[in-house]
Amino acid sequence: MAIFKKLVLPAALAAFMSGTGVASAVTEIQWWHAMGGTNGERVNKIAEDFNATQSDFKVVPTFKGNYTETMTAAIAAFRAKKQPHIVQVFEVGTATMMAAKGAIYPVEQMMKDTGEPFDKSDYLPAVISYYQTSEGELLSMPFNSSTPVMWYNKDALDKAGVSKVPETWPEVKEASEKLVAAGYKCGFSFGWQSWVMVENFSAWHNIPMGTEENGFKSTKTTFEFNNDIVKTHIKNLQDWETGNLFVYGGRRGDSLPMFTNGECGMWMNSSAYYGSIKSQAKFNFGQTMLPYYPNVIDKPQNSIIGGATLWVLRGKADDDYNGVAKFMTYLSSPEVQAWWHQETGYVPITTAAYELSKKQGFYEENPGTDIAIKQLSLNTPTPNSRGIRFGNFVQIRDIINEEMEAIWNKSKTPEQGMDDAVKRGDALLRKFEEANGS
């Protein structure tokens, strides 16, 4: 992509200016992450470029598996006193990390303790609010932030005679009928179904997923996503399996090939699939905001964040944290964030990176790539749409997946599946509350 040629990371300039002097001692900063494949290579580049800007610290990135495996490995390592300095944790692990009070070093506190300049107002509110305490302290540094969007095959919609990109669920149904009639194997599919079809669906329609402001107020929260609105939506999806208007394709990104191979005309999943879709799709594609039900809400509220943040762990030498803080500053710089955003589809975490991407013409050259930012910032978040903070939610997502799959294979009704998901999820919330208090 031509735009990337315009991006010069600060590391390159700094390396050129600093000459080839070799430091006598370098402190290693261990960074455990969950980015495989191409994104793993990009993580390595960020670390290498930072290392080239100075000679006191060396960030060493290590891939530790998927999000769940990476978080589990870090917790086990901390207990064994072999923890890394930085660990990448996905958004649903936030409550679990917050509960590990002796293990985490809040990033805002670390920046203050090390004297590293840090201004929260530089960061997009929709991104950082998910990771702040009730007092506003930022606990972890946003890194790869995304939100679900609707991807669509422009050529397929044209062929099927769909003149307007769907904005509502009734329009998605109508477009799907036309796609199937035109010979496509399915109208639409989606991935990360709890995140997209329960968590974001609820926020988008400004309805609570749980009590206590979706868990932000206290651990006494209980689930409410077995409400009539969600059940009706899930029932619609189950009904639309007939005739292949909707086809289920797996829990995470498993259904991506169904979209990129041209089988399904629409796909709802993370904005961060931009890089993969751009490299794999042999058709004209676009992205738009998630659909909504106009009989539920006049206009949608806002979507919520996904992806992961970087948590700093305690137990290292004081000087090590000077290096961690400098790396966090580098990572948040407009140039690095604009590069990361434009390469991956993750949203920029700062206003400056967003403005730089605009100035560089990225959104003009790649229409739709700012949809995620606009969707996250569509309206001022409400207690229903700020995000979620449920303990044990990594395991609870598995429960929701199991129950939704039982609905898709018709072994349960939507009412049974959603009620069972809430009942089983509430049991894990109570375990978390007992272990961690309010």
Residue 3 pLDDT > 60:
no
Band the pLDDT of 194: cuts 50, 70, 90: very high
Which pLDDT does position 21 carry in this prediction? 47
Which pLDDT does position 134 carry in this prediction? 82
Question: Angle between the 393-408 and 228-240 helix axes, to the nearest 10 degrees?
Answer: 50
Band the pLDDT of 125: cuts 50, 70, 90: confident
Q: What is the pLDDT of residues 105-122, one digit of tens each?
A: 999 999 999 999 999 999
Mean pLDDT to the nearest integer, 169-181: 98
Band the pLDDT of 9: cuts 50, 70, 90: low
Which pLDDT does position 437 carry in this prediction? 75
Band the pLDDT of 126: cuts 50, 70, 90: confident
Which pLDDT does position 360 carry in this prediction? 98
Band the pLDDT of 18: cuts 50, 70, 90: very low
Give pTM, 2 decimals.
0.90
Q: What is the phi/psi pair of residue 187, to 5°?
A: -75, -55
Q: What is the pLDDT of residues 305-349, one digit of tens each?
A: 999 999 999 999 999 999 999 999 999 999 999 999 999 999 999
Mean pLDDT to the nearest integer, 16-41: 78
Q: What is the pLDDT of residues 233-286, one digit of tens each?
A: 999 999 999 999 999 999 999 999 999 999 999 999 999 999 899 999 999 999
